[in-house]
């Protein structure tokens, strides 16, 4: 096989591997270069998402939820279990098996679609060649008409709490604890802090989360964040807002933290510390000096609205470029770029990307928050509906949270939907479809929703925009 391709993709995360499969489907001769090494020392395709992100975190969230429910949900159903035990090797091993199944699955998809994988670090050279350096240092150069950069992101490290892989850890470390830490400290009450903090809290750890901002989950709608904060506090997640970490010292008896909050300097000792203060685009060794590809002020690869870098035939997608750091955002950019390369009409609607936090209750939203609408001076109407009045949620003993819908006051077009409650990671999809079709709250209100289902909360929230919800006062 010659080493000249139509498309080379650097990075096999959800942005890169999806771009590779779509390009190959479109008849383009495609290669994908990735350097990620799995626990077995072999190439592990799938990037952060499959290896140390979305998939393993959801595996542990589900296992820990089962364990938590034994003591916190089953008794309400009249079921009790004496002395439940956890086998940590099975707990972590199940997660590893799922990761292996899915990373291996990408290899099979590459084979089936005739994508050529390269194992090593890819560097873009001038003229759309890529130098691939294997782990043993050997190099080869491949070239293509188009190169897609999909190098992803890595965790941000704090200079005064550097990762040591054992006691002060990032997401990868917190997915691989061999025992439940008695006291877990988390820096950052963002998505990773809340999801992985929940995993270990449910398994019995005392979890303290230190968050720099004064508002909890400020990216979400304020009403939804307020409900979520209350529920997380009930579960024992101790979230300290407006708190700034000053020092983290690893000593024999744990990590000694010094932080400052409204009351002054505070001290806390924990057994493990997870630092989850955001991620940054990863471009180390990615670009030769003379490629012409530029980075923005935050170190992300600079692209236009079509993910084009401005250098002929060079594109960039996923966490390495602007926009939310979400697997599905990167995947859709990958599909769109492959289609643009093939001369088709690619498309990504950044206004309707769903956000989900897989805590208990789950949090999900799409579109504008109430504050964003207010700040932009857009007239809106609000409809809300609580899960407490949804028969299915009550039957499940999970009747917390609400659906909140925001629609334009004059046109009734849905501008944002915000949810906290059971199964909202799935419920948001209906709202995204409605928004994608420029639907109105009346459209959703007129659709027949199965009874009894959680989706009735979406239906009732849509009715509530027009003050005609059936199962609550308006």
CB of 245 to ligand NAD, least distance (A): 5
Which member of 203, 255, 286, 457 binds ligand FAD (CB under 6 A)? 286
Assess contact for 239 and 247: CB atoms under 8 A: no
Q: Mask 176-215, x = binds ligand FAD (CB under 6 A)?
A: ----------------x-----------------------
CB of 204 to ligand NAD, least distance (A): 22
Which of ligand NAD, ligand FAD, none is residue 94 near (CB under 5 to 8 Å by kind)? none
Judge whether 27 is annotated as a binding position.
no
Instruction: Give the count of beta carbons closer than 10 Å to the beta carbon of residue 312.
Output: 11
- At 406, list the tokens: 């925001």
How far is residue 8's CA from residue 16's CA, in Å, rounded to a whole number? 10
Burial class (CB in 10 A: 0-12, 13-18, 19+), 209: buried
Judge whether 429 is annotated as a binding position.
no
How far is residue 31's CA from residue 436's CA, in Å, rounded to a whole number? 33
CB-side neighbour CA atoms (13 Å) of 125? 11
Angle between helix 88-113 and helix 16-25 axes, rounded to 10 deg: 30
* 456: contact with ligand FAD by CB under 6 A: no
Binding residues (CB under 6 A) for ligand NAD: these are 158, 187-193, 195, 210-213, 244-245, 276-279, 324-326, 356-358
Judge whether 212 is annotated as a binding position.
no
CB of 313 to ligand NAD, least distance (A): 29
CB-side neighbour CA atoms (13 Å) of 468? 7
Compare residues 53 and 401 and give the one whose CB is closer to ligand FAD. Answer: 53
451 belongs to the catalytic site: yes
How far is residue 55's CA from residue 30's CA, in Å, rounded to a whole number? 26
Helix boundaries (H) for 236-362: 327-341
Judge whether 44 is annotated as a binding position.
no
How far is residue 360's CA from residue 232's CA, in Å, rounded to a whole number? 8
Which of ligand NAD, ligand FAD, none is residue 48 near (CB under 5 to 8 Å by kind)? ligand FAD
- At 11, list the tokens: 């990075």
Which of ligand NAD, ligand FAD, none is residue 122 near (CB under 5 to 8 Å by kind)? ligand FAD
Judge whether 195 is annotated as a binding position.
yes
Judge whether 325 is annotated as a binding position.
yes
* 171: contact with ligand FAD by CB under 6 A: yes
How far is residue 223's CA from residue 285's CA, in Å, rounded to a whole number? 43
Given the rule CB under 6 A, which of 87-95, 97-105, 288-296, 322-330 is the region that contacts ligand FAD?
322-330
Query: In the block, which residue shows the tokens 């990615």?
Result: 286
Which of ligand NAD, ligand FAD, none is residue 15 near (CB under 5 to 8 Å by kind)? ligand FAD
Angle between helix 54-72 and helix 88-113 axes, rounded to 10 deg: 150
* 15: contact with ligand FAD by CB under 6 A: yes
> Catalytic pick from 449, 451, 459, 471?
451
Q: Mask 122-161, x = binds ligand FAD (CB under 6 A)?
A: x---------------------------xxxx--------
Instruction: Give the count of beta carbons closer than 10 Å to the beta carbon of residue 357.
Output: 22
Ordered strands of the 206-210 beta sheet: 168-169, 272-275, 183-187, 206-210, 238-240
How far is residue 440's CA from residue 179's CA, in Å, rounded to a whole number? 50
Which member of 194, 326, 461, 465 binds ligand FAD (CB under 6 A)? 326
* 53: contact with ligand FAD by CB under 6 A: yes
Supply the DSSP symbol for 115: P
Phi, psi of 471 (to 5 degrees): -100, 25
Judge whether 423 is annotated as a binding position.
no
Which of ligand NAD, ligand FAD, none is residue 409 near (CB under 5 to 8 Å by kind)? none
CB of 275 to ligand NAD, least distance (A): 8
Q: Please identify every residue annotated as catalytic.
A: 451
Site residues (CB under 6 A) for ligand FAD? 10-16, 33-36, 47-49, 53-54, 57, 121-122, 150-153, 171, 192, 282, 285-286, 318-320, 325-328, 330, 358
């Amino acid at each position: 096989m010659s080493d000249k391709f139509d498309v080379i993709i650097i990075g096999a995360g959800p942005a890169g591997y999806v771009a590779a499969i779509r390009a190959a489907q479109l008849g383009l001769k495609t290669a994908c270069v990735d350097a990620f090494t799995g626990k077995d020392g072999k190439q592990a395709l799938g990037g952060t998402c499959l290896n140390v992100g979305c998939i393993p975190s959801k595996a542990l969230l589900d296992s820990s939820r089962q364990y938590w429910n034994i003591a916190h949900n089953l008794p309400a159903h009249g079921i009790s279990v004496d002395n439940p035990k956890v086998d940590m090797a099975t707990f972590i091993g199940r997660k590893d098996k799922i990761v292996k199944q899915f990373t291996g699955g990408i290899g099979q998809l590459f084979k089936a679609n005739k994508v050529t994988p390269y194992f090593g670090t890819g560097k873009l050279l001038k003229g759309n060649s890529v130098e691939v350096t294997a782990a043993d240092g050997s190099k080869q150069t491949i070239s293509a008409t188009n190169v897609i950069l999909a190098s992803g992101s890595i965790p941000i490290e704090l200079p005064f709490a550097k990762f040591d892989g054992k006691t002060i850890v990032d997401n990868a470390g917190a997915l691989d604890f061999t025992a439940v830490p008695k006291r877990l400290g988390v820096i950052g009450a963002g998505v990773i802090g809340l999801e992985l903090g929940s995993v270990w809290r449910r398994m019995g750890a005392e979890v303290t989360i230190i968050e720099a901002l004064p508002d909890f989950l400020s990216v979400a709608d304020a009403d939804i964040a307020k409900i979520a904060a209350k529920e997380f506090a009930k579960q024992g997640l101790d979230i300290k807002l407006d708190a700034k970490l000053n020092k983290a010292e690893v000593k024999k008896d744990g990590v000694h933290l010094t932080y400052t909050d409204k009351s002054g300097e505070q001290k806390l000792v924990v057994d493990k510390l997870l630092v989850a203060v955001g991620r940054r685009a990863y471009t180390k060794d990615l670009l030769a000096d003379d490629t012409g590809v530029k980075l923005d002020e935050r170190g992300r690869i600079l692209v236009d609205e079509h993910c084009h870098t401005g250098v002929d035939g060079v594109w960039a997608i996923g966490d390495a470029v602007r926009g939310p750091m979400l697997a599905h955002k990167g995947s859709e950019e990958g599909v769109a770029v492959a289609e643009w390369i093939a001369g088709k009409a690619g498309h990504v609607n950044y206004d309707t990307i769903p956000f989900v936090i897989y805590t208990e209750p789950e949090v999900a939203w799409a579109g504008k928050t109430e504050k964003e609408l207010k700040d932009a001076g857009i007239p809106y109407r609000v409809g809300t509906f609580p899960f407490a009045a949804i028969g299915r949620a009550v039957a499940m003993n999970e009747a917390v949270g609400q659906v909140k819908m925001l629609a334009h006051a004059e046109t009734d077009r849905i501008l944002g939907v915000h949810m906290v409650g059971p199964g909202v990671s799935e419920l948001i999809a209906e709202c995204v479809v409605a928004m994608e079709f420029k639907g109105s709250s009346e459209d959703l209100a007129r659709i027949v929703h199965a009874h009894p289902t959680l989706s009735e909360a979406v239906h009732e929230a849509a009715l509530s925009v027009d003050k005609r919800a059936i199962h609550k006062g308006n």
